[in-house]
Amino acid sequence: MDFISLTKALISIPSMATSEESYENIAKYLQTEIQKLGINSRPVITNPAKIENPDFYNKNLISLLTPKIPKYNVIANYGNGSFHLIMSAHFDTVTIDKYSNQKWSYPPFAGKINNGTLYGLGAADNKSGIGIALGVLDKIKGKFEGKISITLLFTGDEEIGGYGGIGYLLNNEISAADLFISLNGSFDKINIGCYGRLWIHFVSNQEICAFILSHRLELNNILKSHNIPLRFSHIETSRDDSPVLVFDALTSNFDQKLIRQVFHEFLPNITFELEILGFIKPAISSKSFYAEILAKLASTHSMKKQTIKIGAPSDLRFAINKNIPSLSFGPIQSTSNVHKPNENVKIETINSCVEIVSNFILNFVYRRV
């Protein structure tokens, strides 16, 4: 399979998350390409206006600008082994910034290759991730029968929160999985989705929540200075419409009462009530076997030493909420101009990613199961 041409073709099909876009064209194109590998796929059409508990869609500023129309995702399965691996990538992109002073050197949907670099909107973030996933499957299919089953999730709406994309698919189409690899990641840094998650019901008013949101860094510094292994992430809305603060926790070993102390320090003179609603433990340890192996394999292809970072970038957080061990790795480099004019991805990096992930699955995941 020529996954570079596939990536170029994906760039040529506009799929900007905040435009009047249902992703139907790109999803249909993808289904045809997946069929060429002898693999069946199906579209999963989500309706953002009807997604259960759609706090994001009701209150998030970007989503207010986004038409709430039915949107396409694509799901495909291969193999019937007991180890269930999910590979995901997203095909939606940000919108072209018409007001930027910077200009595109090549048209954003042309998929122009110059000097070993492919330019275009979504080149690195994340259409090449789809090329990589299909390149990997093409390379390894027929070699792991009976051991692994792979689910491919190609989704939209990542750029506006992922609720109608990976969030919907993981919650409605996937019962369990042993490992989730998001190919929307960095080439030199492997992210492990190993945060736990703490929900705190914060009975006060929206203004204070807006204050907390805008002083996120300050709050996180106070948490840090108290050695509380939690970082404030975002605010959700509970069923009774009161704000729920969501924290990402590095471990479950902390005294939850300390949270109250931190808030009194952070908001002196203000009365509020805190109630801890729940905690989800991290699904994967920072000393992850998988992350270490992947980093080792990637280091042989890179000038830089691969680092492993604990975090919950983007789509990974949905896998964490489902307790699925998760990693992100992909073609994004510091030169990729993600979300900017002249977004690009190096052909060599795409090829390396296919090699590394294929090797990882065949030699390590395979041996382990």
Site string for Zn ion, 198-237 (x = CB under 5 A): ----------------------------------------
Q: Which is nearer to Zn ion, 62 or 208 (CB)?
A: 62
**Options 125, 188, 315, 355; binder of Zn ion; rule CB under 5 A:** 125
Dihedral pair phi/psi, residue 112, rounded to 5° = -75, 135
* Region of 32-40, 120-128, 129-137, 359-367 interacting with Zn ion (CB under 5 A): 120-128
Q: Which is nearer to Zn ion, 93 or 359 (CB)?
A: 93
Task: Write down the residue that tokens 């989503």 correspond to.
Answer: 63
Residue 225 CA from chain centroid, whole number? 29
Q: Which residue is nearest to Zn ion (CB)?
A: 125
Q: Which is nearer to Zn ion, 84 or 90 (CB)?
A: 90
CB of 161 to Zn ion, least distance (A): 11
Residues that bind Zn ion (rule: CB under 5 A) add up to a total of: 1
246: tokens are 């969501």
91: tokens are 């095909």
* Region of 61-69, 117-125, 206-214, 273-281 interacting with Zn ion (CB under 5 A): 117-125
114: tokens are 């110059």
CB of 350 to Zn ion, least distance (A): 17
CB of 122 to Zn ion, least distance (A): 9
CB of 275 to Zn ion, least distance (A): 34
Q: Could you tell me which residues are beta bridge partners of residue 194? A: none
153: tokens are 């999730």
Q: Which is nearer to Zn ion, 78 or 104 (CB)?
A: 104
Q: Which is nearer to Zn ion, 48 or 161 (CB)?
A: 161
CB of 126 to Zn ion, least distance (A): 7
DSSP H/E element including 152: strand 148-155
CB of 314 to Zn ion, least distance (A): 7
CB of 196 to Zn ion, least distance (A): 25
* Region of 14-22, 107-115, 124-132, 255-263 interacting with Zn ion (CB under 5 A): 124-132
* Region of 121-129, 170-178, 194-202, 218-226 interacting with Zn ion (CB under 5 A): 121-129
Q: Which is nearer to Zn ion, 55 or 125 (CB)?
A: 125
188 binds Zn ion per the rule CB under 5 A: no
CB 15 within 8 Å of CB 131: no
CB of 125 to Zn ion, least distance (A): 4
Dihedral pair phi/psi, residue 199, rounded to 5° = -105, 130
* Region of 98-106, 122-130, 200-208, 224-232 interacting with Zn ion (CB under 5 A): 122-130
CB of 293 to Zn ion, least distance (A): 27
Cβ burial 64-84 (10 Å sphere, 16+ → b, else e)? eebebeebbbbbbebbeeebb
286: tokens are 């920072």
CB of 34 to Zn ion, least distance (A): 23
Q: Which is nearer to Zn ion, 122 or 325 (CB)?
A: 122
Residue 339: helix, strand or coil by DSSP?
A: coil
Dihedral pair phi/psi, residue 141, rounded to 5° = -65, 145
In angstroms, the CA 162 to CA 333 distance is 22
In angstroms, the CA 48 to CA 53 distance is 10
Q: Which is nearer to Zn ion, 125 or 248 (CB)?
A: 125
- Sheet with 41-46: strands ordered across: 41-46, 71-78, 148-155, 83-90, 179-182, 326-328, 189-192, 307-310
Q: Which is nearer to Zn ion, 126 or 359 (CB)?
A: 126
Cβ burial 202-227 (10 Å sphere, 16+ → b, else e)? bebeeeebeebeeeeeebbebbeebe
Q: Which is nearer to Zn ion, 125 or 157 (CB)?
A: 125
CB 47 within 8 Å of CB 145: no
Binding site for Zn ion (CB under 5 A): 125
